[in-house]
Amino acid sequence: MGSEELRYLLGGPHEAGEEVVYLLRAHDVDEFRTPGRGRSKCKIGTTSDLGTRLPKIYNGSSDPLELMATYPGGEELERALHVWFDLFRKHLEWFYFFDVEPKPLVDRAVEVIREHGLEWKSVPQRKKEIAQAVRSTRKAGQHLGSLGSEIRRIQDLGQRVRAEAERVLTWDFVPRTEEDEALADRARQEHVHLLHLLSDHLGRLLEDMKSSITSAARTGVLPMTDAKAASELDSETVEQIMHKPKAPNRGPWKLIEQWQAPLNNSNALRP
């Protein structure tokens, strides 16, 4: 392979002299068959001459290489990133990322490291603060994902209970006895009570999601866009949660209004 072809493969020509940290991906053959899935093998290194350094890496690799990103900085930033992604480390400067695009993760890590000046800290202090930042980011993402999952579950459960309540209201016994009436009344009361509990629970979940996304963004743990995405809810639903209307007439807020309606008027459940 000629030098120009190699430069094109690695992202084009680069100026020598500027010290940078680079993110390099080694593609295996299976990745080309199923792009964006499975394992990504990446190298996080530093150099002041990409044009010289990358061909050397290429010559020692049997896999096609892709230069995904470069970041101004030297060994301090490189070491900080190595600490950040230590759980992903395979060997020395090589890291394995599974079922996720590595570049957004590294972009965010660089942003946090730079924001808090972690690359300039002493090694013990840097490791401690990076570990704390990693834990905070991971915990925030897990919390938002759990909230999103619970919101979907409660919405689905509430809709099924509401549909059952509508069915109960249409029960028609022939002949209709006092026992039948008592059974129907008890069933209606139980469904209305359950809908009330579900609406309260969903309301708390929505408020928790709204405050958690806002808090993650304000404290710098996650950017607002990443925090919203971590909920694993569709973008429209997230925006509805974040912008609760004065009249609850949109998305999940509308569900709460519908579920509470039978508390005031049992006929509100009729089709």
- Kindly indicate the confidence band of residue 121, based on its pLDDT and cuts at 50, 70 and 90: low
Q: What is the pLDDT of residue 12?
A: 40
Contact 33, 67 (CB under 8 A): no
Q: What is the pLDDT of residue 22?
A: 93
Residue 36 vs residue 195, higher pLDDT: 195
* Whether residue 112 sits in one domain with residue 71: yes
Per the DSSP assignment, residues forming a β-bridge with 66 are 25
Q: How many domains does the chain have?
A: 2
* Structure tokens, 155: 């919405």
Q: How many CB atoms lie within 10 A of CB 3?
A: 10
Q: Within a domain: residue 106? A: yes
Q: Within a domain: residue 61? A: yes
* Whether residue 74 sits in one domain with residue 178: no
* Whether residue 90 sits in one domain with residue 194: no
| Containing structural domain, residue 48 | 3-120
Contact 187, 168 (CB under 8 A): yes
* Whether residue 147 sits in one domain with residue 114: no
Contact 42, 26 (CB under 8 A): yes
**Does the reported pTM lie above 0.85?**
no
* Whether residue 160 sits in one domain with residue 116: no
Residue 87 vs residue 36, higher pLDDT: 87
For the stretch 44-82, pLDDT in tens is 999 888 778 877 877 666 678 888 999 988 888 898 898
* Whether residue 257 sits in one domain with residue 152: yes
Where does a domain end: 92, 120, 148? 120
Where does a domain end: 63, 89, 120? 120
Where does a domain end: 63, 92, 120? 120
Residue type, 246: K
* Whether residue 76 sits in one domain with residue 15: yes
Q: Within a domain: residue 130? A: no
Q: What is the pLDDT of residue 27?
A: 77
* Whether residue 101 sits in one domain with residue 152: no
* Whether residue 213 sits in one domain with residue 100: no
For the stretch 4-38, pLDDT in tens is 443 433 344 445 567 889 999 987 655 444 454 56
61-77: string of b/e by CB count within 10 Å (b at 16+)?
A: eeeebbbbbbbebeebb
Q: Within a domain: residue 132? A: no
DSSP H/E element including 51: helix 50-59
Q: What is the pLDDT of residue 8?
A: 37
